[in-house]
Amino acid sequence: MEDWIICLQSRMSKTYTCLADVPRDILSLILSKLFFKDHCNFKLVCKSWNLICSFWPPLLPLIDLPEFHSPCLMIPQMSDCSWTIYHSLYNNSYDFEFPELMDSVVLCSKYGWLLVSKDEFMLFFFNPFTRKKIELPPTTKRFLSVCFTSPPTASDCIIFGILFPGPRNIIYFSYIKVGDEEWKSKSVIIASHIAISSCPPVFLNGVYYFVEWKFRNIIAFDLIKEEFEFILIKYDNCSEESTSVNEEEEKDEDDNSSEESTSVNEEEEEDGDGDEGEEEYEAPPIIHESYLIEVDGDIWCVFVTGNERRIIIRKLNLSEHLWMKLESLGNKCLYVSTIGSFAESSDVSGMGNKIYFNKFHGESGITFSLTSGRYYSFGGGFASKDASGVPEGCYGVWLKPTLYYM
């Protein structure tokens, strides 16, 4: 028995020596294909393997494959520099330290970058995947809604947003180009009843588009022409029920009474459509959340309405001033949060035609499937036509890792 133990120890020693002698370029290649937890396990093999790892674990491997570039949700924790990274593809969460984000608030997320405010008026860009930081000149007021037009490493990147309100009938815009030393401001007079949503605006064809919070109208600002326009938006004749291709097939018996009520309301709407020339339209349902998104050169918006948090997806027809209802996203995925939303084409089976929220059921992320018209949790255990049992969204921000913007 002792001879066997001695022999085994000898073999283990040789194995350890062999692992320690693996060439660094091969180890680097292996490391580049690992993700999150596997990366951490790699570091624990031996001291020499640990030495080739950077002092902080990267959030994604340095290879360009779809499964490694699925968006992640960053969620702040109680500690000022602790963040949880939730990966939507694997339904896993990992904790990371970002001292750079101490005492800061994330204003907007896009292109894999965060636009961050510190002490209210100090702004900077931060890339969590490379930890690169780009400072901006201080502002004089806080932003209500803000976006940036391209990665901050690009020479044409402009930060543009609406400042927190002053007088009720005046909107103050502020903007700066990366590399400039001072912010510029504009102001426009609007009707006092207009309330702008705090979701980031969409930049499209040189124009910045904001959505009105209450009636879903559009506010457009052309920075080059210095033109402001308030656009009254109509609705198509589709009902305001939850968007779903197969919803009619999945009607629950418990919903019969509400469905009958809905059909009555729809008939009343049709009866009231006699005068085609009139600009009066029945007010849409109460909006709890709205997310404005640019998708392949178009403007989409996800509206979450009613106490049941029903989903309505609209595509903006600017030429006809019309919100058009979308029944399907195709292979698109929408990742939405109050700090930034974007669309991605999915190459992974089962991931498309869904909306990914910054909401959780237990430790599992929540998604809404347009195929079934239901909310689901990734880990199972939750499926519902409404989100009444789901807590409000966390203060999280979706990020799309990509090598091209680092």
CA distance 97 to 80: 9
CA distance 247 to 241: 10
Q: Which CATH class is domain 66-248+283-405?
A: mainly beta
The reported pLDDT for the residue numbered 404 is 45
Distances (CA, A) of 306 to 347, 350, 357, 358: 33, 28, 17, 18
CA distance 220 to 212: 11
Please compute, for residue 64, the number of CA atoms within 13 A of its CA located in the half-sphere on the CB side.
4
Question: What residue spans define the domains of the chain?
Answer: 27-58, 66-248+283-405
Give the dihedral sign, CA 130/131/134/139: positive
The reported pLDDT for the residue numbered 253 is 37
Burial bucket for residue 119 (CB in 10 Å: 0-12, 13-18, 19+): exposed
CA distance 1 to 307: 71
Reported pTM? 0.75
The reported pLDDT for the residue numbered 119 is 84
CA distance 49 to 38: 13
Enumerate residues 6+ apart whose C-beta is below 8 A from 258: none
CA distance 108 to 115: 5
The reported pLDDT for the residue numbered 349 is 73
The reported pLDDT for the residue numbered 300 is 96
Output DSSP code: residue 101.
G
**H/E element, 3:** helix 2-20
In sequence order, what DSSP letters do the residues of 248-315 get, joined into one string? GGG--GGGHHHHHHHHHHHHHHHHT---TT----PPPPPEEEEEEEEETTEEEEEEEETTTTEEEEEE
The reported pLDDT for the residue numbered 283 is 53
CA distance 67 to 126: 24
Question: Is residue 165 a contact partner of residue 174, using CB atoms and an 8 Å limit?
Answer: no
Q: Mark the ranges of the chain whose per-residue pLDDT is less than 50.
A: 1-2, 4-16, 55-63, 239-281, 404-406
Burial bucket for residue 206 (CB in 10 Å: 0-12, 13-18, 19+): exposed
In sequence order, what DSSP letters do the residues of 333-377 get, joined into one string? EEE--TT--EEEE--STT-SSEEEEEEEETTEEEEEETTTTEEEE
